[in-house]
A = this chain, B = another copy of it.
């Protein structure tokens, strides 16, 4: 009973804007502690209100500066803003955490802003596990906007995008060959393009190239969202209010066309599936005796058994 009260109290404190309570809740869910299920159940009815925005783009386009500028723009509208800075790292290096403290010092003393670096430390599936949990905490704690920023490397950025209601893709002139330099997959997931460093040579060309690409049309049927291209100079705060407006228009469009609901249901499906597969995987590894994974592995290695029959045996024992 004492623990239940503690979780309820933590959630209450988090909703009252206490950053330590928010941080504590995130720790409880991302490390899969015993309290995880209790916390998850308590958070659920409080979720679904935050606007979730994914930010991605190649290194050097100015993601951190843009994130910081967007935080200021949302704060000017009186909104509470959470930031999850996702920093995927090699499974071997152990993770170079950018650090909550060195990032975005402008907002360090603002109690309406909560910033958390998510390292993909790899336990329990890494990013695909911890980030949605942290997102639920911020949502339940009453943050109006949650920005998920990725370092823009590899598959994980796509995973992050799948968590967002709207995805903002950043480009900048002078990064290789303009939009050619961006990875194909990333251009396809953009709901809003931001061409940062728009005061530099070549920015107009990047904007033109993007608009041309967009005019070639998207796949799929149904009413199409026309992806806007917004020039910004994030280091001087220029254009950020236009980005906020474009994101607002995208959200309104999504609500109108049932797309917001569809995306959120899809996000939930991915999350449920990941939790279920993780649980099943753990149970497979927990089986003991002659039909344990280790014993089956030895029999497959010697050719006594084929791996499909071994997998059938495992699944049969699971049920």
**In the complex, what residues of B have CB within 8 A of residue A188's CB?**
92
Mask, A27-64, CB within 8 Å of B = 1, is: 00000000011001101111110000000000000000
A92 to chain B, nearest CB (A): 4
Given the contacts A284-B276, A293-B269, A319-B319, A91 and B155 also touching, CB distance less than 8 Å: yes
Task: Answer yes or no: A218 CB below 8 A from chain B CBs.
Answer: no
Mask, A119-160, CB within 8 Å of B = 1, is: 000000000000010000000000000000000001100100
Task: Answer yes or no: A314 CB below 8 A from chain B CBs.
Answer: yes
A319 CA to B45 CA, complexed, in Å: 28
A269-311 with Cβ < 8 A to chain B: 269, 271-273, 275-277, 279-281, 284-285, 293-294, 296-311
A271 CA to B296 CA, complexed, in Å: 11
Task: Answer yes or no: A267 CB below 8 A from chain B CBs.
Answer: yes
Given the contacts A48-B303, A306-B40, A308-B40, A314 and B272 also touching, CB distance less than 8 Å: yes
Number of copies: 2
A60 to chain B, nearest CB (A): 19
A50 to chain B, nearest CB (A): 11
Mask, A154-184, CB within 8 Å of B = 1, is: 1100100000000000000000000000011
A184 to chain B, nearest CB (A): 5
A281 and B273 form a contact (CB under 8 A): yes
**In the complex, what residues of B have CB within 8 A of residue A306's CB?**
37, 40-41, 43-44
A132 to chain B, nearest CB (A): 8
Task: Answer yes or no: A261 CB below 8 A from chain B CBs.
Answer: yes
A307 CA to B267 CA, complexed, in Å: 11
**In the complex, what residues of B have CB within 8 A of residue A285's CB?**
273
A240 CA to B318 CA, complexed, in Å: 48
A268 and B280 form a contact (CB under 8 A): no
B300 and A268 form a contact (CB under 8 A): yes
Given the contacts A41-B309, A44-B305, A183-B90, A294 and B273 also touching, CB distance less than 8 Å: no
Q: A45-B304, A268-B310 are in contact. List 15 more A-B contacts (CB 8 A).
A: A40-B306, A44-B303, A45-B303, A46-B303, A90-B184, A91-B155, A265-B294, A265-B297, A265-B298, A266-B297, A268-B296, A268-B307, A271-B307, A272-B293, A277-B281
